[in-house]
Amino acid sequence: MTKKMKIILGVVVAAGLVAGAISYKNASHASSPETEEVEEAEKLNPVGPAFNADSAMVYCAAQCDFGPRTMNSEAHDKCGEWIVKKFKQFGCEVETQKADLKGYDGTVLKNTNII
């Protein structure tokens, strides 16, 4: 695949992602009386803890400390394990889904979804 083709493919994929995000946003704003009541209740009683910028920065730094987390790398695996451990420490029920994906060049990419 030529460099020009890769660029075109990248632009097409990016445009598709943007269009999908806009479509999702518009669909999620479709309102019904029930939806409006739930949205109003959520405004009054937000779910989860308040955002803490310092904590967010610490968690971002901890992930970055693993180094580049490219697929099939040790850093990728260790960061995923760390995320699962953190979620469990917070009392979350965590499920992982492992899959071998095929890259564009045929490389097998070890994937883990953290749910």
pLDDT tens sequence across 16-58: 666 676 766 665 555 566 667 767 766 666 666 788 899 999 9
Residue 77's Cβ-count burial label (10 Å; 0-12, 13-18, 19+) is middle
| Stronger pLDDT, 12 or 31, i.e. the higher one | 12
pLDDT of residue 26: 61
Predicted confidence band at 1 (pLDDT cuts at 50, 70, 90)? low
Domain boundaries, the chain: 51-115
User: Residues 6 or more apart from 77 whose CB is under 8 A from it?
Assistant: 110, 112
Residue 63's Cβ-count burial label (10 Å; 0-12, 13-18, 19+) is middle
Question: What does DSSP assign to residue 73?
Answer: S
What's the rounded Cα separation, in Å, for the pair 85 and 106?
A: 32
